[in-house]
Amino acid sequence: MRLRDPVLMEKREIPQYQRSSSRLRRSGSARIVPYATSDWLVGSAPMAFPATRLRRLRQSEPLRAMVRETRLSPASLVYPMFVCPGEGVRREVCSMPGVFNLSVDEAVKEARQTHTLGVPAIILFGLPEKKDEVATGAWAEDGIVQQAARAIKREVRDVVIMGDVCLCEYMSHGHCGVVRAAHPQSLGAAVAVPAAISADYEIVNDATLELLARTSVSLVRAGVDVIAPSDMMDGRVGAIRKALDQAGLINTPILSYAAKFASGFYGPFREAADSVPQFGDRRSYQMDGANLREAIREIELDIEEGADMIMVKPALPYLDVIAAARERFDLPLAAYHVSGEYAMIEAAARNGWIDRDRVMMESLTSIRRAGAGIILTYYAKEAARLLG
C-alpha cells in the first residue's frame, strides 16, 4: 500500500538552511525539496493497520510514561526572582499572580525553598532604590542584585545564581542602553513631528558595552555564578568575556540571550521589574519576530564572541527558532518561558477555562521537546512539585 504520490507533495525549505532527514545543513539558496519516495512507503505488513495499533502503548499512565519521548526534570529549570529594597517585603505582581517583588531577606527564603524542591538555579533581576542615566544601580558594589547574591550564597551555597545583565531596570528612561539625542532634525521635520512624540534619540551601542562589562564583573565578584546578558547590544558577549578575563574571572560562564525578540509577551515582566521604556520601544535592538535566519546569525556571532550557553526568548511563540538552534548548534540551549506566557495561563485558569497544571506542564514539555535543555520559567517551583 502506498500513500499519495510523494512527488506531488513538496516541502519549501528555509533559505540558507536546508533540512535533510533529521539534520540541518547549509544551503546556498531557497530550494523546493520533494519528500523522498522511500520515506512514504508503508507497504510492509508490520506498518499497516490492523497489525499496527499505536493505541496499544497508550493504555495506562505507567505504559505511557515508559515510552515517553520527552521528559522534564526539575534539574533543567531556572527560577526567576525580582529583588527590591527593604526588609520583609513580599509584594505580589498584579499581572503575575504568584510572582513577587522580594526584599533580600525574602529572596534568601525563596532561594532556599526553590533549591529544596530540586530546582538547581535562579536568575536575579533587580529593582534599585534610584535610577539614573548611567545605570549606577546595575554595577555598584552595593547594588540590589549584588546584595542579594551575597546573602543567598551565604545561606544556600549550592544554588546556581544567574545574573541578568541589562540596564533597563536601572536607567531612568527604561531603555537597555545609553541614550543620546539623534542627529539634529531640520526645522520643518521638527515642526511636523513634535519632540515629545518623535523618535529623536538613539541607543548608543558601544558606550553601553562598557557598562554591561562593568556590571558583569561586579555581579561575579558578589557571588553570581553565570552571567546572562539580555540587552541585545552588538558585541556585548565579547566585551563581557574580555572584562571577565581581565579581572581574573576566566571560569565564569556566559549564558547569552542570543535570540531575544521584540515581543508583546514581556508586558507583565516590565511591571515586575519596573522597566517600561519612558519613550519609544526596543525594536531598534531586540530582534524582529519574523526573522529566523537572523536569529541563527545572532547565535553564531555570540558563540564566536565567547558565549558558553545560548538562549531563545520568548519560548512558545518561537519553538521553531529553538528547534533550528538545536539542530545547528551543540552548545547548551536555554529558552525563557516569559511573563506573558505565564500570565495568560494564570488568567485563563482563574476564569475556569483551562486546567492550570496540565497546561503548565504541556507548555514546558513543548519547550523541552523543541530542543531546550534549560528552561527559565516562573513555574519552576510548581513544576518541580508535580515532577516530584
AA letter at 264: G
Give dist(CA 267, CA 247) in Å, integer.
Answer: 36
In order, the DSSP letters of 255-317 are EEEEEEB--GGGHHHHHHTT---SSS-STTTSBPTT-HHHHHHHHHHHHHHT-SEEEEESSGG
Residue length, the chain?
A: 388
> Which stretches does DSSP call E strand in the chain?
10-12, 17-20, 23-26, 32-34, 77-83, 90-93, 96-102, 121-126, 160-165, 178-181, 201-204, 226-229, 255-260, 309-313, 333-337, 374-377
Active-site entry in 130, 153, 242, 260: 260
Beta bridge partners of 161: 122
AA letter at 150: R
* H-assigned helices in 21-124: 61-66, 104-116
Residue 313 is among the residues annotated as catalytic for this protein: yes
Give dist(CA 118, CA 60) in Å, integer.
Answer: 27
Task: Return the C-alpha torsion angle 341, 306, 128, 99, nearest 10.
Answer: 20
Assigned C-alpha cell, 228 = 546572562
Element (H, E) at 360: helix 356-370
Beta bridge partners of 132: 171
DSSP 331: S
Active-site entry in 109, 130, 153, 313: 313
Query: Could you report how far apart the first and last alpha carbons of the chain are, in Å?
Result: 46
Residue 260 is among the residues annotated as catalytic for this protein: yes
Question: Among all residues, which ones are annotated catalytic?
Answer: 260, 313
